[in-house]
Chains A and B, each alone.
Chain A
Amino acid sequence: MMEKMVFGRYIPGDSFVHRLDPRSKLIFVFIFIAAVFLANNTVSYALLLAFTLLSILASKVRIGFLIGGLKPVMFLIAFTFLLHIFFTKEGDLLFQLGFLKIYEEGLRQGIYISIRFLVLVLMTSLLTLTTSPISITDGLEVLLNPLKKVKFPVHELALMMSISLRFIPTLMDETDKILKAQLARGSDISSGTMKERIQAVVPLLVPLFVSAFKRAEDLAVAMEVRGYRGGEGRTRYRQLKWDWRDTTALLILLAVIVALWFLRG
Chain B
Amino acid sequence: MERILSLQDVRFTYTPDDPDGRHAVDGVSFDMHAGEWIAVVGHNGSGKSTLARLMIGLLFPQEGTVGLFGDTLTEDNLWEKRSQMGMVFQNPDNQFVGATVQDDVAFALENNGIPFEEMTLRVQNALKQVKMDTFLDHEPQHLSGGQKQRVAIAGALALRPRLLILDEATSMLDPQGREEVIRVILDLREKTGLSVISITHDLEEALLADRVVVMNGGRKFAEGTPQEVFLKGEALTELGLDLPFAMRLSALLGEQGIGTEPGTMTERKLVEQLWTLRSNR
Contact = CB atoms under 8 A, between A and B. Distances in A.
Tell whether any CB of A sits under 8 Å from a CB of B in the complex.
Answer: yes
B141 A225 contact: no
B79 A229 contact: yes
A166 to B, nearest CB: 5
Interface string B81-97: 01101010101011111
A237 B58 contact: no
Nearest to A159: B97
A218 B100 contact: no
Interface of A is mostly: helix
Contacts of B141: 169-170, 173
A222 B56 contact: no
Given A224-B58, A225-B56, A229-B79, A166 B109 contact: no
Contact of A239 (B100, B116, B123): B116
B102 A237 contact: yes
By size class, the interface of chain A is 20 to 34
A163 B116 CA distance: 21
B83 A227 contact: yes
A133 to B, nearest CB: 8
Given A218-B89, A218-B91, A228-B111, A237 B106 contact: yes
A151 interface: no
B99 A222 contact: no
Interface in B64-116: 79, 82-83, 85, 87, 89, 91, 93-100, 102-103, 106-116
A177 interface: no
Contacts of A144: none
B95 A166 contact: no
Nearest to A221: B58
B155 interface: yes
A110 B113 CA distance: 56
A136 to B, nearest CB: 11
Contact of B82 (A169, A214, A225, A234): A225
B209 interface: no
Contacts of B139: 166, 169
Contacts of B87: 225
A170 B109 contact: no
Contacts of A233: 113
Given A225-B87, A237-B116, A215 B94 contact: yes
Contacts of B102: 237
A11 interface: no
20 contacts: A134-B99, A162-B99, A166-B98, A166-B99, A166-B140, A169-B139, A215-B94, A219-B97, A222-B89, A222-B94, A223-B97, A225-B58, A226-B107, A226-B156, A226-B159, A227-B79, A227-B82, A234-B113, A235-B113, A237-B120
Given A225-B85, A234-B110, A235-B115, 17 more contacts: A166-B98, A169-B141, A215-B93, A218-B91, A218-B94, A222-B95, A223-B97, A226-B156, A227-B108, A227-B112, A229-B79, A229-B111, A233-B113, A235-B110, A235-B113, A238-B103, A239-B116
- 9 residue pairs, one from A and one from B, having the closest CB atoms: A218-B94, A237-B106, A222-B95, A134-B99, A227-B111, A226-B108, A169-B141, A225-B87, A233-B113
Interface of B: 56, 58, 79, 82-83, 85, 87, 89, 91, 93-100, 102-103, 106-116, 119-120, 123, 139-141, 155-156, 159
Interface of A: 132-134, 162-163, 165-166, 169-170, 173, 214-215, 218-219, 221-229, 233-239
